Structure 1
């Protein structure tokens, strides 16, 4: 990844890419060429009309610039914080399709979008679009092409480039782990990833295993994990770069490395996708990696309860009553509602041991979330308006969309049990996402808290909107969102 301020006409490149607004007669930032080339560019502009995502390539034989790619970005009034990211991703994929070793993109001028935002979107779009999960492929894609971004000024751009690369790499790190199959990623594997990352990035790491989990009262994690030969783990990472007495932000991520549903067995169709039930925990790993590399001057704790939910002779059962870390009891009515049990333990632990200023959790928690919001928007449920507002602001900047659902006493009443403090599912299919959040709220005493249900957005599904920077598989949703939130505290 390079930044150049030289005239793009003088640069030697296999592919020079410029953005075009809809119905525009020029390419943004493109210099003047000879009459023959200019004529070819003008004809291409007429043909493509600057429509969003539409391309036209103009060859220039015998010149330092071998080809010019015109990339439509639509109408100026319709530009979003995602437009340049989306189109840049498509450009990068085209460059790889052409088997180029390098390509260049001219950053759009300031009258189109903020220069810092533009460069960030170009970097995030290209890096994430070129990511491909190939660990188990015998024939791999050739090396991805290198990008040069051409800007009018370099002021403050260098810092933006470094930040954007770290953020994009954090999302890719999350994707690379989330995409792993269950036989290659058990709770122990996930804990080892955390250990390696923490050592490399100078974070404190603590792993709590069986039987210590049982001894310390993590009843939810122990119950869900007891049916598998792969023992559960509680992974704790600490980034301490803030002032010593500053309360930390606690991030909690559900990491069920595979979810069969347990005794309440899931249907066989699409069960393979339950390798993605660890995406919440992978999101926390990606965020913590980026936080440390950005050297953010804050205190952040990442807590990842990790289990494998399997049916077996030792599995927990419908009808069981378990005692959670908070001391409250839960009646088990469905063993496939396991994520809230392990999250409740982690949330209680995080609040008790760290007295945080805020807690944010991520979980592929409910299918009901997909029914309610589809596969492009995450649900949030919170007990604090200020925290929700800040996350919403970050959502608008990063275009990782969230939508808040209510949580009042009526929903809390829906999980009351006749034989325990609460039950692990609500009443029928009603408000499934909210009643799951209501269960989690019982784990929080007084800390500002936001729950983010990423069941619909954590990986690409049937109705997922096409985004060039989210190839098939895990999306890394939440990494860019929360890094933006943390950088703007």
Structure 2
């Protein structure tokens, strides 16, 4: 991972590799430039290049490399357009940070000096996120090892100095450390989600989860098929029994608060590969169903960061891990499954498997741990993509206060969410003539009827459900973001960590 520090201008050699300078579209000169004679010389050098050329470079996301000299010392300047300053927000800063990092990698600038180009303190962490997250690449299976080694060498050898006035250096270094921990958790999640199904199945995912025990205050318990069956988690057993890779339930405990304080419960769907089972999917783009474990990978990433950040809270994460395959032992349309909480489900479509395993995990987690509140993540419905596209996740729940605070965090991290309603009429669509409910509600409102199904398993505990089917990985229509390379995005990790940090006492 790239090394990032803050420093003052007098502590660095500007001739060392590249100096990154942000240019506002209106041509205004930041106050920190005006106050420093050396920076003022740089500004004069840039302006001497010609306003006609600079006008285009000042537009958001544009770049130009300029070779010049300062006090007879050659320097290289990388100009980056900031666009209109009143349009700058956290996500535009995050994207700019990623663009800077990628451009420097392309030009092989391994020592990067960035003149801090904003005064808004809330922009600092997004800049770091962009600089780091953009460097992610899933390259472990590339045949060309030399190319892979070169990419890793850049990240390992890249040193970034963010030049500030030094007045808040300790605070800035703390922010850098925190942000790098979060980015490392995103990388961990992306690696798991990107991994192909012949490398990640329920057992190997459980093994990866066990690695979190090296983090302070974390313990990991893995339930095998016999334990899952004995406990009555029949939704998980039903979905997983068609595969030779037996289901697992991964339970991650993090305790760093008073023992009698109720934990937060996180639940993540991890279907390591989803063929649809007997209700088999079309072959087109079925390869993308390796991403159907993304909800579980998101939750594991959150737990990794929670431990490394040493947040003063108690959290339990439950990840039901299955592979949904067609075989002679698969569950079938028409089956009736007795769930953990005693309710019965008429199976009408075996491709609506995520809600089956989530339902058991939710009811088991609530029964055993009596949490303050519950948040779950799942690539649950294609209907969510139809409704909201591939840049916005759906959120549904039974507690508006919880959802409103999650929206605030989403605004901070640039992970867009939209609340969908859970009206009584949707519950009518999942009524069954032969069981407590059926596992699909028809073609209309599919994301909401899936949430209505899940709500039968959360009792009255405050609960928020994230449908990340459109945002868990880059798809057709996904907006290009420098910090989200192709493949798994780790959507939701930064959002939840922001929420946990800023809502310590939420009940």
Q: TM-score, normalised to structure 1's length?
A: 0.95
For the 8 Å contact 2:6–2:172, the answer to whether it is kept is no
Which of 489, 493, 504 is 1:475 aligned to? 489
Matched, 1:24 2:32: no
Which of 27, 48, 51 is 2:56 aligned to? 48
Secondary structure of the structure 1 residue equivalent to 2:134: helix
Deviation at 1:478, TM superposition (A): 0.2
Which of 249, 252, 260 is 1:237 aligned to? 252
Which of 6, 9, 27 is 2:8 aligned to? 6
Tell me which moved more, 35-44 or 214-223.
35-44
Tell me which moved more, 313-322 or 193-202.
193-202
For the 8 Å contact 1:227–1:315, the answer to whether it is kept is yes
Residue by residue over 1:8-43, the C-alpha shift from the partner in whole angstroms, topping out at 9 and shown as x without a partner, is: 774343111122222315478551227983444554
Which of 117, 123, 126 is 1:118 aligned to? 123
**Could you tell me how far apart the structure 1 residues matched to 2:430 and 2:225 are?**
29
**Could you tell me how far apart the structure 2 residues matched to 1:377 and 1:34 are?**
41
Q: Which residue of 2 aligns with 1:69?
A: 78
**Could you tell me how far apart the structure 1 residues matched to 2:453 and 2:42 are?**
68
Tell me which moved more, 399-408 or 73-82.
73-82
**Could you tell me how far apart the structure 2 residues matched to 1:14 and 1:222 are?**
58
Cα 1:68/1:180, change in 2 over 3 Å: same
**Could you tell me how far apart the structure 2 residues matched to 1:348 and 1:147 are?**
47
Deviation at 1:480, TM superposition (A): 0.3
Cα 1:84/1:323, change in 2 over 3 Å: same
**Could you tell me how far apart the structure 2 residues matched to 1:35 and 1:238 are?**
53
How many residues are aligned here?
484
Cα 1:263/1:16, change in 2 over 3 Å: same
Cα 1:64/1:311, change in 2 over 3 Å: farther
Q: Which residue of 2 aligns with 1:363?
A: 378
For the 8 Å contact 2:394–2:467, the answer to whether it is kept is yes
Q: Which residue of 2 aligns with 1:92?
A: 101
Cα 1:68/1:488, change in 2 over 3 Å: same
Matched, 1:437 2:451: yes
Which of 375, 382, 406 is 2:421 aligned to? 406
**Could you tell me how far apart the structure 1 residues matched to 2:330 and 2:43 are?**
75
Which segments of 5 or more consecutive residues in structure 2 lack a partner in the other structure?
A: 34-38
RMSD value over aligned CA atoms? 1.8
Tell me which moved more, 386-395 or 153-162.
153-162
Cα 1:302/1:42, change in 2 over 3 Å: farther
**Could you tell me how far apart the structure 2 residues matched to 1:253 and 1:34 are?**
51
Deviation at 1:202, TM superposition (A): 4.0
Q: Which residue of 2 aligns with 1:33?
A: 41
Secondary structure of the structure 1 residue equivalent to 2:363: helix
Matched, 1:208 2:217: no
Q: Which residue of 2 aligns with 1:146?
A: 159
Residue by residue over 1:48-99, the C-alpha shift from the partner in whole angstroms, topping out at 9 and shown as x without a partner, is: 2521111111113697663111111221221122011101101100111112
Q: Which residue of 1 aligns with 2:176?
A: 161
Secondary structure of the structure 2 residue equivalent to 1:443: coil
**Could you tell me how far apart the structure 2 residues matched to 1:281 and 1:373 are?**
22
Secondary structure of the structure 2 residue equivalent to 1:381: strand
Secondary structure of the structure 1 residue equivalent to 2:265: strand
**Could you tell me how far apart the structure 1 residues matched to 2:334 and 2:42 are?**
79
**Could you tell me how far apart the structure 2 residues matched to 1:479 and 1:375 are?**
17
**Could you tell me how far apart the structure 1 residues matched to 2:212 and 2:65 are?**
42
**Could you tell me how far apart the structure 2 residues matched to 1:28 and 1:433 are?**
50
Matched, 1:285 2:287: no
Cα 1:186/1:44, change in 2 over 3 Å: farther
Which segments of 5 or more consecutive residues in structure 1 lack a partner in the other structure?
A: none
Residue by residue over 1:135-157, the C-alpha shift from the partner in whole angstroms, topping out at 9 and shown as x without a partner, is: 10132143223322222231521
Residue by residue over 1:415-471, the C-alpha shift from the partner in whole angstroms, topping out at 9 and shown as x without a partner, is: 1111000000002x1000000001100001110000000000000001000100000
Q: Which residue of 1 aligns with 2:438?
A: 423
Matched, 1:329 2:344: yes
Secondary structure of the structure 2 residue equivalent to 1:82: helix
Mapping of 1:226-375 within 5 angstroms? 226-375=241-390
**Could you tell me how far apart the structure 2 residues matched to 1:85 and 1:16 are?**
19
Mapping of 1:168-183 within 5 angstroms? 168-183=183-198
Secondary structure of the structure 2 residue equivalent to 1:222: helix
For the 8 Å contact 2:6–2:173, the answer to whether it is kept is no
**Could you tell me how far apart the structure 2 residues matched to 1:387 and 1:42 are?**
53
For the 8 Å contact 2:7–2:161, the answer to whether it is kept is no
**Could you tell me how far apart the structure 2 residues matched to 1:35 and 1:327 are?**
71
Residue by residue over 1:349-388, the C-alpha shift from the partner in whole angstroms, topping out at 9 and shown as x without a partner, is: 1100110011000000000000000000000001001101
**Could you tell me how far apart the structure 2 residues matched to 1:344 and 1:44 are?**
61
**Could you tell me how far apart the structure 1 residues matched to 2:163 and 2:415 are?**
27
Residue by residue over 1:82-130, the C-alpha shift from the partner in whole angstroms, topping out at 9 and shown as x without a partner, is: 01110110110011111222212222242xx22xx22211211011101
Secondary structure of the structure 1 residue equivalent to 2:104: helix
**Could you tell me how far apart the structure 2 residues matched to 1:211 and 1:201 are?**
30
**Could you tell me how far apart the structure 1 residues matched to 2:400 and 2:74 are?**
53
Cα 1:473/1:174, change in 2 over 3 Å: same
Q: Which residue of 2 aligns with 1:484?
A: 498
For the 8 Å contact 2:14–2:75, the answer to whether it is kept is no
Deviation at 1:255, TM superposition (A): 0.4
Secondary structure of the structure 2 residue equivalent to 1:284: helix
Tell me which moved more, 1-10 or 147-156.
1-10
**Could you tell me how far apart the structure 1 residues matched to 2:112 and 2:57 are?**
23
Deviation at 1:168, TM superposition (A): 1.3
Deviation at 1:4, TM superposition (A): 3.1
